[in-house]
Amino acid sequence: MAETAVQRRTWFRKTLVVPTEHGAWSWLLVPFLTGALVGSLAGNPAPFSGMALVFTLIGGLSAYMSRQPATALLRIR
């Protein structure tokens, strides 16, 4: 019985929460990390650029992670 519940949770997480497009992760993160690296090496960064990077990363990942559940919700309707 407990094994079935664990399998259901794993299935739910894999199919409804985590997007299945493996290449899309690199399309999202590589340009962001490249821009962050180039921006930090370019010279004198702004005083709050670290916080801006963190908030931008959180916003981008949130938008990317919300697409999969939204698509599943629209398919159910």
- Over residues 22-74, the pLDDT tens digits come to 788 888 899 999 988 888 888 766 767 788 889 999 999 999 888 888 887 88
Tell me how many domains the chain contains: 1
Of 64 and 16, more confident:
64
Q: What is the domain range of residue 66? A: 2-76
List Cβ neighbours of 17 (8 Å cut-off, separation of 6 or more).
65, 68, 69
Q: What is the pTM of this model?
A: 0.66
CA distances for 12 relative to 8, 15, 20, 38, 68, angstroms: 6, 5, 12, 38, 12
pLDDT of residue 13 exceeding 80: no
- pLDDT exceeds 60 at position 2: no
- Chain centroid offset of residue 20 CA: 12
**3 vs 48: CA distance, rounded Å:** 47
